[in-house]
Structure formats: C-alpha cells, structure tokens
Structure 1
Amino acid sequence: MFFNGWAGVGRTVIMAVLVYVAIILLIRITGKRTLAKMNAFDMIVTVALGSSLASVALSKSTRLVEGIVGIGTLLALQFVVSWLSVRSKTVRKLVKSEPRLLFHEGNFLDSAMHDERVTHDEVRSAVRKEGGLSMEKVTAVVLETDGTFSVIKRPDDNRAESALQGVDGVEQK
C-alpha cells in the first residue's frame, strides 16, 4: 500500500521529467501568453495542464506520447483562441469578460458588486492590500478580468490619462 518497489518510483520520476520538458518546449513554441491568467479560459487551460502533467506522471495507463499530444492540444487551443480574440471582437466577447467598477469616488457600486458577488469587506481588503488606510484616498476599485482587484488611488495630477478607460461602469470623457 505504501511502497511497491523502486520501479514505480523510477517510472514516475522519468515520466515527470519528460512531460515537464515537453511542457516547457510547447510553452516556448506557443509563447508567453499561454500561461497568462487574463481570464477564465486561461485559468482553465492552466489547471488542465497541471492535471495532464499529473496524469502522465502518475498513471501507468497514460503513455508519454498520449500525454504530450493532450498537452499540445490544450496549448494549441489556447494559442488559437487567444490569436482569434486579438483579431475578432466577437471571439473576444465570447472568451473574455470586461473589468468591472466596484467602488468609485467614495461610493460602493452595490448593483455591480451584487452582480459580481463581491462584498464591501472584500473591496476594503483590496484597498488595505495596496496600503490604503482610507477609502477617501481611493478613486476606484476595479474587479479585473482575471478576478483580481485593482485599486486606483487619487491622482496628484488631474490631467493624467485615466487608468479607468475601458472599464464597465465608468463614464468616458
């Protein structure tokens, strides 16, 4: 139950090293964008890659070539979807969400927070993580497409270009 000989351990090490090298090579071929956590689709690919690596390394029924082909297919799909989303507004809308304004100019935007299932405490926590002591010193808090929060502090120069450009819920000037 705990140990059945060195052969299984050796196979696991060899398979893990080989599939690891294969993933590195495939990621180098498909580019940096492959593992970016920009949206839900990216996260799904990242989790699926980890699961595939584990399956190949630990399962005796999964052959190395089958695992590499599976991983290669996932990376190819990621490449194609990201390539298409850069070139097609329709694909981009299907795959990616928009950043969402949750707090603006001293006000929690309760409707947006409700839609995104975010609490006031989570917004305050994001501000604290950015070193904020006061909500009055925050212009906005945005829920980004990857699920992280961006905290935009009050600018010293009102003429600077706004980082809120393109965020759902912000009036564009």
Structure 2
Amino acid sequence: MGHLFTVAWELVCGLGILFVILKLLGKTQFSQITPFDFISALILGELVGNAVYDKGVRIVEIIFASLLWGILIYFIELITQKVKSSRKLLEGEPNIVIHKGKLKYDVLKKNKLDINQLQSLLRQANCFSIQEAEYAILETNGMVSVLPKFPYDTTKNGDMQIKPKQVSLPVTLIIDGEVLYENLKEAGVKEEQLIQDLKKQNIKRTEDVFYAEWKHDKPLFVLPYEEKK
C-alpha cells in the first residue's frame, strides 16, 4: 500500500511540474509544435515516467531534471525569438510543395513526403484535388496551407462589394445554469435584460438554462436543459 501512495505522490508532483513548465514555455507545445518541441515533450514525459516506474530514481532528482530541462527549453525559445538566424535550425522553415499549380517533387523528397501523405494534408485544408491548388506550403508543424486556384477559391464579401457590417464575437453568458458575470459585463448586458430575454423564450430561471450565447444585433441564443437531453 505504501508503494501505491508513493506512485500517486510522484504522479501528482510530475503533473504539477509539467503544468508549470508548459505554462512557462507557452502554447506552442500544443498548437504549433515543431520537431524540437516534439523532442521536448517526449523528454518531459520520459522524466516523469522514470519517477513512477524506476524505484532507483527519487522524486527530488526528477524535479531537478525537469526544471533544468524546462529552463534549457525556455532559453532556446528565447534565442529563437532574439536571433533570427537560429530559427531555421531549431524550428525549421516552411517549404512550398506546390508552386503555381506545379508539384515540387524535390521538396517532397527533401521532406520525406509521399503523394498519399500530401493528398491527406490537402484534404485537411479543404482542398480535395492537387489540381485545385495554386500554392501549397508545408508548415513547420507538418500541416499544409493552401491557396486555391481562382476557379476554386471562395468568394469573399469584398469581391462582391457588399456593404461592410460590424463583426462581433459571440459571448457566452450562461453555462450549466450559472451566469458568467464577467462575460455579462464584457458584452454590456445587464442581468435584468438577460432575465427578460429568457422570459421571452418562456424560461423563468437561469438555472434552467444549459447554455446561453449573446451576439450583437442577434436574439439571445438559449439551449435549455430539455434540449440538451
């Protein structure tokens, strides 16, 4: 039983260490992961794994190693921000795989990318045929950004000379029956107004609302608990 408590304690400490380090390093560990970030994530996971499964490794040593690794990664991230010449080595660089509608075979070969993998990446970018792409760029995180050819491009409001309208961000006002007062203040909506809007939809209490969303010049969107079920 004592061993189980030790494992639990080490897991909790490991989770706390990883959380702090990833907070300090920023969100690139998740959204724009580079090969170097991938190595970093593997090393951090391995350090915590050793704390759990290797009885010869003490938690103090794991904390020291994790913090040291986090500091090293932090300074490397700092270097890539300050020294532009280091970014190509540490973060990689985007590569154009389709240029003016023509496939760049040498770039595919350089990046160890076959045609099936390229087709899969193009589909994830809503491009379902190679012939629809005017340009395709392989980003440092392994994803592909696509600029479609003119016949396949999406028409924009500016192309049709539509009169511009104010663009507003939807604001969540209620979640699980709880009013989010900070969001209410941000949206400039008073609680009395919120209650009135709910009554217009035959809802008497905020506790009966699973989700409510506000958007400028739009009726209050309400999802009661009945609809959720």
TM-score, length basis structure 1:
0.77
Residue 118 of structure 1 aligns to which amino acid in structure 2?
A: L
1:47 corresponds to which of 11, 23, 42:
42
**2:209 paired residue number:** none
Q: Secondary structure at the match of 2:4?
A: helix
Aligned to 2:164: none
Alignment partner for residue 138 of structure 2, among 130, 140, 143? 143
Which residue is 1:35 aligned to? 29
Q: Decide which of 105, 114, 130 is 1:110's aligned counterpart.
A: 105
Higher relative contact order (CA 8 A, sep 6+): 1
Gaps of 5+ in 2: 159-229
For these two proteins, the number of residue pairs brought into alignment is 153
* Identical pairs, percent: 20
> What residue number does 2:77 align with?
82
Please tell me whether residue 18 in structure 1 is matched to residue 13 in structure 2. yes
- Counterpart of 2:207 in structure 1 is none
- CA deviations over 1:64-119 (Å, ceiling 9, x no partner): 11101111111111110110111112322331211101112321101111111111
Following superposition, the deviation at residue 134 of structure 1 comes to: 2.8
Q: Which has the larger radius of gyration?
A: 2
In the alignment, the residues of structure 2 paired with residue 14 and residue 40 of structure 1 have an alpha-carbon distance, to the nearest angstrom, of 31
Aligned CA-pair RMSD: 2.3
CA distance in 2, matches of 1:38, 1:78: 13
Q: Which amino acid letter does the alignment assign opposite residue 143 of structure 1?
A: L
Residues 144 and 150 in structure 1, CA contact (< 8 A), matched pair in contact too: yes
Is the counterpart of residue 8 in structure 1 residue 3 in structure 2?
Answer: yes
Structure-2 separation of matches of 1:137 and 1:116: 22
- Tell me the CA shift for residue 33 of structure 1: 4.6
Deviates more, 1:146-155 or 1:59-68: 146-155
In the alignment, structure 1 residue 65 sits paired with structure 2 residue 60? yes
User: Which structure has greater strand proportion?
Assistant: 2
